[in-house]
Amino acid sequence: MDSRPIPSEISRANLHDLRIVWKDGHQSTYPARYLRLRCPCAGCVDEWTGRRVLKSADVSEDVVPTSLQLVGRYALRVHWSDSHSHGIYTFEFLRDLCPCADCESSAQESEGLEASD
């Protein structure tokens, strides 16, 4: 079964935020700095240990995405105003990062409690 999340629309919610509407109708709004801090590139995350090297203090409070670029059919590359553009955010990763209340509560449920529909 292929349950990979697919975005039907990727746009800027406003100057700072990124918005994704998913094929299943779910909408995610990501604050720019939240996404920038979770950049998955080798410069921000240690490739071997998986440890995050990027520190909160390293990212400016007013960082914004300057452009968005699709990578194949599975990911999004974000160019940031701090001239960082190495991060490739797969759709799966982005969906996992969805900061909405629904996703946060389902993430908690999956930590031990029984799953419900």
Please identify, using beta-carbon distances, which residue of 58 and 62 lies nearer to Zn ion.
Answer: 58
CB of 7 to Zn ion, least distance (A): 12
What amino acid occupies position 5? P
Q: Where are the beta strands (DSSP E) in 32-87?
A: 65-71, 75-80
C-alpha 51: how far from its chain's center?
17
CB of 93 to Zn ion, least distance (A): 13
As a whole number of angstroms, the distance between CA 11 and CA 81 comes to 17
Contact indicator for 78, 87 with CB cutoff of 8 Å:
yes
Nearer to Zn ion, 70 or 100 (CB): 100
Question: What is the closest distance, in whole angstroms, from the C-beta atom of residue 50 to Zn ion in the complex?
Answer: 14
Min dist. Cβ of residue 84 to Zn ion (A) = 6
Nearer CB in complex with Zn ion: 44/94: 44
Contact 31, 39 (CB under 8 A): no
Residues found near Zn ion in the complex (CB under 5 A): 39, 41, 43-44, 86-87, 98, 100, 102-103
